[in-house]
């Protein structure tokens, strides 16, 4: 989930682009370390995002360092690569380095099936563990069964992510709200004030394909009442998770209440995350829930005064390390792949990403000159230091993202209750956990 920010291309186009990209990889023969004339990077960050801008700089540095290498920079979509990763990485001609989604459901499956190279030696050689530390390592490592949180390194993140509520200060004033809420009670009262003023409180989406906003609202409400152990038991399959109890019950009931009261809008089953972004940017809604992937866009495009805050009073906040760079097991240019990853972690690239609000893991927050961007980054630094990141809900078991999105759509359309969803969630999670445990 990870997600960052990222997921703009329609799924049909994404699948086609992956197929064409895979067919075009003519310079990377499986297992060959001698052919360094063509080096292929496959990623899915939008070029306008902080990461996309950072990759442009990294490309300039990398090409200058390797003038004899023909560097192919191929862009697909998050959803397209996630659904076709095994096909792309399992062929005889593969990219040399790829961006992939973290978590047991995606990265863990690729690692356990031998499709990704073990990066332990490269981590030691380049000291990446000094730059990617603490909770940011959680989804970079996987054990033999593909469980995240321990084991060997298979991916390297460059940035962090956390979810905030971006808000339109003009809409808040219109509804009689004087400032940012400090407690959950104040927040829910503000939601009602916005609704009473004829303003949709939160811009959301619940399409079964890329309708991520409702999932993030739901999980934010769950995480708000959770502790570290409850999140880790769920995320890393460490213990029994009973979805009929808190924080799952309370969070999901609250989520249904927000739907019933109209706090998240209506007809969400036909909206994807991009449409939710546009509705907020066009001034139609009071707030938007999203991560730092939209920060620079709002900063550049919003025609109104805006701010952001994490869910007030929440014990845990949605967020994680960003998506991962990985090296396919069949990459023909592994040493170049390691150097590419190292380039993206260089000070120049990381500080550029930071200046744009991209939350770099190896950047220097003190070097950010814009006060809005610095404050946004400092808030993330605090969440990481406090160890209160709840990660994203779709990571633990295979197929979880599609399952959750389908049920978010059903709940949003009032075709499913909180209790019905939690019952289905228990069955799907338990079955998925057995699959992961069996390897």
Please check the confidence at residue 3 and state whether its pLDDT lies above 70.
Answer: no
Percent of the chain with pLDDT over 90: 84
What is the rounded CA–CA span in Å between residue 349 and residue 52? Answer: 11
- Mean pLDDT over 298-319 rounds to 96
CB 210 within 8 A of CB 273: yes
Continuous segment of H or E residues that includes residue 23: helix 11-24
Is there a common fold for 11-161+322-370 and 164-316+397-437? yes
- Mean pLDDT over 92-106 rounds to 93
> What is the number of residues in the chain?
439
Q: Tell me which fold the domain 164-316+397-437 belongs to.
A: D-Maltodextrin-Binding Protein; domain 2 (3.40.190)
Q: Which of 321, 340, 337, 333 has the alpha carbon at shortest distance from 391?
A: 321
How confident is the model over 399-425, as pLDDT tens digits?
Answer: 999 999 999 999 999 999 999 999 999
Please check the confidence at residue 18 and state whether its pLDDT lies above 90.
Answer: no
Output the pLDDT for position 105. 87
- Mean pLDDT over 219-231 rounds to 97
Output the pLDDT for position 92. 87
Residues 6 or more apart in contact with residue 197 via CB below 8 angstroms: 174, 175, 176
Q: 259-295 burial by CB neighbour count: b if 16+ within 10 A, else e?
A: beeebbbeebbebbbebbbebbbeeebbbbbbbbbbb
Q: Which of 164, 161, 317 has the alpha carbon at shortest distance from 226?
A: 317
Cα atoms in the Cβ-side hemisphere of radius 13 Å centred on 145: 17
- Mean pLDDT over 15-32 rounds to 42
Q: Which of 263, 261, 287 has the alpha carbon at shortest distance from 276?
A: 287
How confident is the model over 385-403, as pLDDT tens digits?
Answer: 999 999 999 999 989 999 9
Please check the confidence at residue 118 and state whether its pLDDT lies above 70.
Answer: yes
Please check the confidence at residue 288 and state whether its pLDDT lies above 60.
Answer: yes
Q: Retrieve residue 230's tokens.
A: 């409850």
Average pLDDT in the chain: 91
Residues 6 or more apart in contact with residue 405 via CB below 8 angstroms: 206, 207, 208, 209, 211, 212, 215
Domain-wise residue ranges, the chain: 11-161+322-370, 164-316+397-437
Cα atoms in the Cβ-side hemisphere of radius 13 Å centred on 376: 31
How confident is the model over 348-363, as pLDDT tens digits?
Answer: 999 999 999 999 999 9
How confident is the model over 128-178, as pLDDT tens digits?
Answer: 999 998 889 999 999 999 999 999 999 999 999 999 999 999 999 999 999
Q: Does the structural domain 11-161+322-370 have CATH classification 3.40.190.10?
A: yes
Indicate the pairing of strand 160-162 with strand 156-157.
unpaired
Give the confidence band of 239 by pLDDT, cuts at 50, 70, 90. confident
């Amino acid at each position: 989930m990870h997600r960052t920010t990222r997921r703009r291309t329609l799924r049909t186009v994404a699948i086609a682009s992956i197929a064409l990209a895979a067919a075009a990889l003519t310079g990377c023969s499986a297992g060959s370390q001698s052919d360094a004339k063509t080096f292929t990077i496959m990623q899915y960050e939008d070029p306008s995002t902080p990461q996309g801008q950072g990759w442009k700089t990294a490309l300039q540095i990398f090409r200058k360092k390797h003038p004899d290498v023909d560097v192919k920079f191929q862009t697909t979509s998050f959803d397209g690569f996630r659904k076709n990763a095994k096909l792309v990485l399992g062929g005889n001609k593969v990219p040399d380095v790829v961006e992939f989604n973290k978590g047991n459901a995606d990265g863990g499956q690729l690692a356990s099936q031998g499709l990704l190279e073990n990066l332990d030696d490269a981590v030691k050689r380049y000291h990446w563990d000094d730059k990617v530390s603490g909770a940011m390592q959680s989804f970079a490592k996987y054990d033999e069964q593909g469980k995240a949180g321990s084991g060997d390194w298979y991916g390297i993140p460059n940035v962090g992510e956390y979810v905030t509520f971006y808000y339109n200060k003009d809409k808040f004033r219109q509804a009689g709200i004087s400032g940012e809420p400090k407690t959950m009670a104040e927040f829910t009262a503000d939601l009602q004030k916005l609704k009473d003023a004829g303003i949709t409180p939160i811009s959301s989406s619940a399409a079964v394909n890329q309708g991520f906003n409702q999932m993030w609202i739901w999980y934010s409400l769950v995480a708000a009442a959770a502790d570290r152990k409850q999140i880790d038991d769920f995320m890393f399959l460490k213990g029994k998770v009973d979805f009929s109890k808190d924080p799952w019950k309370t969070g999901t009931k609250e989520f249904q209440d927000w739907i019933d009261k109209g706090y998240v809008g209506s007809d969400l089953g036909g909206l994807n995350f991009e449409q939710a972004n546009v509705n907020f940017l066009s001034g139609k809604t009071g707030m938007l829930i999203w991560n730092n992937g939209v920060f620079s866009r709002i900063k550049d495009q919003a025609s109104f005064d805006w701010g952001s805050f994490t869910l007030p009073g929440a014990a845990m906040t949605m967020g994680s390390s960003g998506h991962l760079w990985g090296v396919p097991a069949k990459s023909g240019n592994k040493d170049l792949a390691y150097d590419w990853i190292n380039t993206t972690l260089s000070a120049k690239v990381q500080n550029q990403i930071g200046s744009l609000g991209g939350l770099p893991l190896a950047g220097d927050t003190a070097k950010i000159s814009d006060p809005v961007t610095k404050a946004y980054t400092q808030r993330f630094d605090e969440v990481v230091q406090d160890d209160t990141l709840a990660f994203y809900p779709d990571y633990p078991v295979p197929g979880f993202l599609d399952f959750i999105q389908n049920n978010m759509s059903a709940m949003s359309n009032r075709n499913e209750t909180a209790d019905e969803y939690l019952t289905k969630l228990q069955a799907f999670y338990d079955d998925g956990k057995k699959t992961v445990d069996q390897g």
